[in-house]
Structure formats: structure tokens, C-alpha cells
Amino acid sequence: MDSEALRNIRTMRQIQTSADIAKTQRLRTTNSLSKTRKEVEHLESLIDRQLEQILQKERRRFAAQEAAVNKSRQRVLRARGKLAATINNNRALTELRHELQRARWEGKELTTPKAELTTPQQKLRQMELKY
């Protein structure tokens, strides 16, 4: 048996505010009250000759706006990618440093090869020997 308690609950999409109702109703002015039905129909049937140009301009404006939004989204995605790469590099470097520090604290030998340091004089001597 279905519950009858929740049958008549309305969601926010079903509830209309007074502002929504006012948007759909025609404004009743003194001028509009004096018009006949034929005059109202005639006035509503009139179309501006430039309406199609106005609508095309609005479509172009909206398309340009949509393109700008998409371009902005792509830039944000690229920036997030660069940031993620930097974060991943830093995370890996931090883990390596922690591992090396643990090895130092435990007294283990470091397995990384030491870089050979050369002074500028040693480089000059090496170059002199080459010719």
C-alpha cells in the first residue's frame, strides 16, 4: 500500500512565486483598458522589420560569449594540469628526501652516486690537454 502522507508535497520547481506570476500577466494600464480586442490583436501582430537582424546579432553575441567561456575553461584546465604536475613532483621529491633522512638517521650508507665537483681551474686544465 502506498503512503498517502507524502503524495501532495510540491517541490521548488512546482511552486510559483508572486514575481513569477507577475511576469506572465499583462500589465493593466488605463491605456490598455481602453483598447478593443481587434486593436490589441493588431498591435501584437506587428513585427519590427529589423527584428531578424536583432535576433541574429543576439545569436552571434551569445555564440561569442559561449566561445569565451569554453576558452576560459580550457585555460583553467591547463593551469590545473601544470599545478598537478608541480604538486606531484614536489610530493615525489619530499618522499625521496624523507627516505634519505631516514637512511642517515639509521646510519645506512647512501646508495646515490656522489657528483664530481670540478673547479674552473680543473676545467681549464682539461681543455688545455685536449689540443
pLDDT digits (tens, 9 = 90+) for 22-55: 777 777 777 777 788 888 888 877 777 888 899 9
- Asked if the structure places residue 119 within a domain, the reply is no
Mean pLDDT of 43-70: 90
Task: Supply the range of the domain harboring residue 22.
Answer: 18-108
- Asked if the structure places residue 123 within a domain, the reply is no
- Asked if the structure places residue 61 within a domain, the reply is yes
- In one-letter notation, the amino acid at residue 56 is Q
Confidence of residue 6 (pLDDT cuts 50, 70, 90): low
- Asked if the structure places residue 33 within a domain, the reply is yes
Alpha carbon of residue 27 to chain centroid: 40
Instruction: Reply yes or no on whether the pLDDT at 123 is more than 70.
Output: no
pTM, full prediction: 0.44
- Asked if the structure places residue 9 within a domain, the reply is no
pLDDT value, residue 36? 84
- Asked if the structure places residue 6 within a domain, the reply is no
Structural domain tally of the chain? 1
> The cell 583553467 sits on which residue?
76
Q: How far is CA 77 from CA 17, 82, 90, in A?
A: 39, 9, 20
Question: Alpha-carbon distance 41 to 31, whole Å?
Answer: 15
- Asked if the structure places residue 11 within a domain, the reply is no
Which residues of 19-94 form beta strands (DSSP E)? none
Confidence of residue 131 (pLDDT cuts 50, 70, 90): very low
- Asked if the structure places residue 126 within a domain, the reply is no
Give the DSSP letter of residue 109: P
